[in-house]
């Protein structure tokens, strides 16, 4: 960029800055409220004062003085006394039965004392039947487990027999092919060789005998005898040769097939025995599982009967006093011989040694609540007696208001009374919740503070003028508010400034807008 242009820009910027500072100094010189300007431009706001002539203030019937005094924030509500621990005793027998015994109403009981008893005649018979059923189921389960053990032994024997037969057939096949068949062949061949030698010898002898017969040295009988011997030798040779042919061509194949079939059958029988043994074990195991489930159901029934028998005696869970339960639809009052149904309330045992009060607090006061907050309780029956208490808890979500203001949102607060105080449940009491307390706090009445454009203002009278001052608020009581900054002790402030200082409020708002506009121009 050329140097000329940059120097012109610097000159223009300096002119703008000088004009902005001139405007700001002019505004400050006019004496308008510097409070808003200080809050926007500085990190720590400082209250500024704008003097307003008394002519702008309407006739003021009352003022007050800002003073230091103890400030206690007390939330006062009303509620009814109740017991912290209150137990309702029900009939837990799962059918309609009768009360055979019940303590008189108002009687004091200790923990574990019998409050009421129910009829057990029907239940005792049911209890005995369930006990017999449990014993029967246990016996059946034991028998099934013994049968499973015997089945395992039978399976072992069956598998051992099938395995032995498989091994024997395999050995028979191997022995036949490797030893028996070759031995039979060699034996027949040896016999054939011997028969062939005998046949050859018989033929030579027959030829020799015939020659002798021709020469007249042998008779015909001798020739016939030698011929017979030759025929026998030929027959034996032919028989042995045929036996060898039958063995090699037919008998060997048949025997081999038979032995192989026996081996396969034995192997299949072993596989079948294994599967059968597994199925038998599975069947026995299913029987055992069935018996176990049956026993479990019987035990559940027996436990139920035992529990019902125990529920026939209703005992006090803690110390207290017997109060008969009230029911709208009850035909007869609670007493001996009266029929009661399942889960019907019979009596209530309140523990009067620990009492509480439940009150409601408006949603705007929710921030003041905390567990352990001290409180004072006064009953309407004895308002001069002060009972100490602490906040034990409060609801996390608001509850709907009571009739007729259903749109109201409140929080329920439970206040526990100090231990050792025995009062009658149901008494109405006033509860003072001490939410905050300061021994020395600068305070003014609520009527002296007004809110204008998110700023809290008080109007201080200084001689003949009224000056608006912005203040910082602290804790609040029912009628006073703490002033943390912006006001000094002893200053006279106007009450109800909205009605009495309307023109002063308008003047302060106009001055605030002028300052905001000046600050906006300066920021640009």
Helix (H, G, I), strand (E, B) or coil at 419: coil
Look at domain 3-68+441-523 and name its CATH class. mainly beta
Q: What are phi and psi of 255, to 5 degrees?
A: -65, -40
71 sits in which H/E element:
strand 67-83
Residue 482 tokens read as 């703490």
Write phi, then psi, for 510 (nearest 5 degrees): -65, -40
pLDDT at 59: 38
Interhelix angle 181-215/220-246, nearest 10 degrees: 160
CA–CA gap between residue 122 and residue 223 (Å, rounded): 120
Q: What pLDDT score does 101 carry?
A: 92
Q: Where in the chain is the domain with CATH 2.40.50.100?
A: 86-119+313-348
The C-alpha atoms of residue 176 and residue 169 are separated, in whole angstroms, by 11
- Interatomic CA distance for residues 308 and 294, integer angstroms: 21
350, 107 contact by CB (below 8 A)? no
Q: Residue 380: what are its φ and ψ, rounded to 5°?
A: -65, -25
**pLDDT (0 to 100) of residue 425:** 83
pLDDT at 362: 86
> CB-based contacts of 56: which residues, under 8 Å, 6+ apart?
466, 501, 503, 504, 507
Which pLDDT does position 51 carry in this prediction?
A: 44
Render each residue's pLDDT in the chain as its tens digit; 524 residues.
Answer: 333 333 333 333 444 444 444 434 443 443 334 333 333 322 333 334 444 443 334 434 578 888 898 887 788 889 998 888 888 999 998 888 899 999 998 888 999 999 999 988 878 888 888 889 999 999 999 999 999 999 999 999 999 999 999 999 999 999 999 999 999 999 999 999 999 999 999 999 999 998 888 888 888 888 899 899 999 999 999 999 999 999 888 999 999 999 999 999 999 999 999 999 999 999 999 999 999 999 999 999 899 888 988 899 999 998 888 888 876 666 678 888 888 888 889 999 888 888 899 999 888 888 888 898 899 999 998 889 999 999 999 998 888 888 788 888 899 999 999 887 778 888 899 998 887 777 888 989 988 898 887 788 999 988 778 888 999 988 777 778 889 999 988 888 988 888 888 888 888 888 888 777 777 766 55
Q: Count Cβ neighbours within 10 Å for each residue of 352-387 and write b for 16 or more, e otherwise.
A: bebbbbbbbbeeebeebbeeebebbbebeeeeeeeb
Distance, C-alpha 478 to centroid of its chain: 46
The span from the CA of 60 to the CA of 448, in Å, is 12
The number of CA neighbours under 13 Å toward the Cβ of 293 is 5
Q: 86-119+313-348: what CATH class? A: mainly beta
Alpha helices (H) in 176-251, listed in sequence order = 181-215, 220-246
Whole-angstrom distance, CA of residue 354 vs CA of residue 384: 21
- The fold for domain 123-311 equals Helix Hairpins (1.10.287)
pLDDT at residue 20 in the model: 47
The reported pTM is 0.47
Nearest-angstrom CA–CA distance, 449 and 170: 115
- Looking at the DSSP bridge assignments, the partners of residue 224 are none
Side-chain-side CA neighbours of 51 within 13 Å: the count stands at 7
Could you tell me which of 342, 351, 343 has the C-alpha nearest to residue 323?
351
Using the CB atoms, write b or e for 60-82: b if 16+ within 10 Å.
beeeeebeeeebbbebebebebb
CATH 1.10.287 in the chain, residues? 123-311
């Amino acid at each position: 960029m050329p140097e000329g242009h940059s120097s012109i820009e610097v000159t223009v910027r300096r002119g703008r800055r000088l004009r902005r500072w001139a405007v700001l100094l002019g505004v400050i010189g006019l004496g308008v409220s510097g409070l808003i300007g200080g809050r926007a431009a500085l990190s720590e706001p400082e209250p500024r004062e704008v003097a307003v002539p008394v002519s702008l203030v309407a006739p003021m019937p009352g003022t007050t003085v800002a003073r230091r005094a103890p400030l206690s924030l007390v939330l006062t509500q009303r509620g009814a006394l109740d017991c912290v621990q209150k137990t309702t005793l029900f009939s837990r027998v799962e059918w309609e039965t009768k009360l055979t015994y019940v303590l008189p109403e108002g009687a004091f009981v200790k923990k574990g004392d019998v409050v009421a008893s129910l009829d057990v005649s029907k239940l005792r018979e049911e209890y005995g039947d369930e006990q017999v059923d449990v014993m029967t189921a246990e016996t059946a389960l034991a028998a099934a487990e013994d049968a499973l053990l015997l089945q395992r032994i039978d399976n072992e024997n069956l598998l051992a027999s099938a395995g032995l037969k498989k091994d024997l057939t395999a050995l028979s096949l191997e022995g036949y092919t490797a030893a028996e068949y070759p031995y039979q062949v060699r034996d027949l061949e040896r016999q054939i060789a011997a028969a062939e030698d005998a046949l050859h010898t018989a033929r030579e002898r027959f030829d020799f005998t015939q020659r002798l017969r021709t020469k007249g040295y042998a008779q015909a009988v001798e020739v016939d005898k030698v011929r017979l011997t030759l025929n026998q030798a030929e027959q034996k040779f032919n028989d042995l040769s045929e036996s060898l042919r039958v063995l090699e061509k037919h008998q060997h194949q048949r025997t081999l097939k038979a032995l192989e079939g026996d081996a396969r059958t034995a192997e299949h029988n072993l596989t079948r025995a294994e599967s059968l043994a597994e199925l038998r074990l599975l069947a026995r195991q299913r029987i055992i599982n069935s018996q176990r489930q049956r026993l479990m159901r019987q035990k559940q029934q027996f436990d139920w009967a035992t529990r019902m028998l125990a529920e026939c005696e209703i005992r006090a869970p803690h110390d207290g006093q017997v109060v008969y339960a009230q029911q709208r639809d009850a035909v007869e009052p609670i007493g001996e011989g009266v029929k009661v149904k399942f889960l019907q309330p019979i009596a209530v045992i309140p523990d009067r040694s620990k009492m509480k009060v439940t009150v409601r607090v408006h949603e705007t006061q929710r921030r003041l609540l905390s567990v352990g907050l001290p409180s004072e309780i006064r009953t309407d029956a004895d308002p001069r007696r002060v009972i100490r208490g602490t906040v034990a808890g409060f609801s996390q979500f608001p509850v709907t208001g009571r009739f007729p203001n259903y749109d109201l949102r409140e929080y329920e607060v439970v206040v526990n009374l100090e231990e050792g105080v025995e009062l009658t449940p149901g008494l109405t009491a006033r509860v003072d919740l001490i939410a905050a307390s300061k021994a020395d706090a600068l305070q003014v009445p609520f009527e002296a503070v007004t809110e204008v454009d998110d700023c809290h203002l008080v109007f201080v009278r200084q001689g003949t003028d009224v000056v608006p001052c912005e203040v910082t608020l602290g804790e609040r009581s029912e009628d006073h508010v703490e002033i943390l900054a912006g006001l000094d002790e002893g200053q006279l402030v106007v009450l109800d400034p909205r009605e009495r200082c309307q023109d002063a409020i308008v003047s302060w708002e106009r001055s605030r807008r002028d300052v905001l506009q000046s600050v906006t121009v300066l920021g640009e």
